Structure 1
Amino acid sequence: MNIQRINPTSRWSDATIYNGLIHFVEVPEDTAVDMAAQVRQIFAQAEATLAQCQSDKSRLISATIYITDIADVPVLNREWEAWLPAGCAPSRACLKVELLNPAMRVEIAFVAAEMRVL
């Protein structure tokens, strides 16, 4: 099975698809906003990436969430629960870290399943 890379650069690809799984990472574009707005940006970008890969958020398998401030967890959880369709929450890990851009409050790595037409 071939590896498909979406918009590859010398450092990353927007998404990598292998064996029916889509792997991708999203970061906020506007870091001058609060946690809720950064999370919503990531979700909008994730939906666009999933659509480009012929999938959607109901097909998420896992998410690894990196946050810089543990006090932001309630905001993250509120946005997360509002964004996901009922009964479609993926496996999830959330880690407190220091991100390379100090203005970024959150970064999320996703894994989703492709939609397949049989």
Structure 2
Amino acid sequence: MSEIKRVGVAHRWCAAASFGRIAFIGGHTARETRGLTVTEQTAEVLRLLDQTLAEIGCTKADILGAQIILSNMSMAAEMNEVWDAWVAPGHPPARACVGAELGKGLAVEITATAAVRNQEASLDGLV
């Protein structure tokens, strides 16, 4: 029977949780670029997403779906430029992009669902 595994556990959330061969990646937001442009924030968020994916043995090519939240939909074109340069060629995930109020200084938040290809190797280090 599969266990629920988590990485980056905090009081209220975790960076990722997996069950069987599916991993749910929590919402990633800017840390160092908070308050800067959506271009800078998106680049940082995607780097953080890459790090979380690596922790669970996945890559951006394993992302099945992504949800992008922008604090203002007028920034979609800028965000898309960074996203398009980042997404794995030939492996674009199903994606939604919506506008919603985010925390102060935040322009973008991204969450995702990924396929765990090698369950044994990818779950090392998860609690």
Q: Do the two structures share a fold, i.e. TM-score over 0.5?
A: yes
Which residue does 1:50 correspond to in 2? 53
1:117 & 1:20 partners in 2: Cα distance?
6
C-alpha contact 2:39 2:79 (8 A) present in aligned 1: yes
**TM-score (norm. length: structure 1):** 0.93
Which residue does 1:23 correspond to in 2? 24
CA distances 1:3-48 after superposition (whole Å, capped 9, x unpaired): 0011322200111011211111211112131100100001100111
Q: CA deviation at 1:87?
A: 1.1
Aligned-residue CA RMSD (Å): 1.4
Moved over 2 A (4+): none
Q: Could you list the runs of 5+ residues in structure 2 that have no partner in the other structure?
A: 121-127
Alignment of 1:32-111 (within 5 A): 32-99=35-102, 101-111=103-113
1:49 & 1:78 partners in 2: Cα distance?
22
Percent identity of equivalent pairs:
24
Secondary structure of residue in 2 paired with 1:7: strand
**Residue identity matched to 1:51:** A
Q: Could you list the runs of 5+ residues in structure 1 that have no partner in the other structure?
A: none
- 1:114 pairs, out of 101, 108, 116, with 116
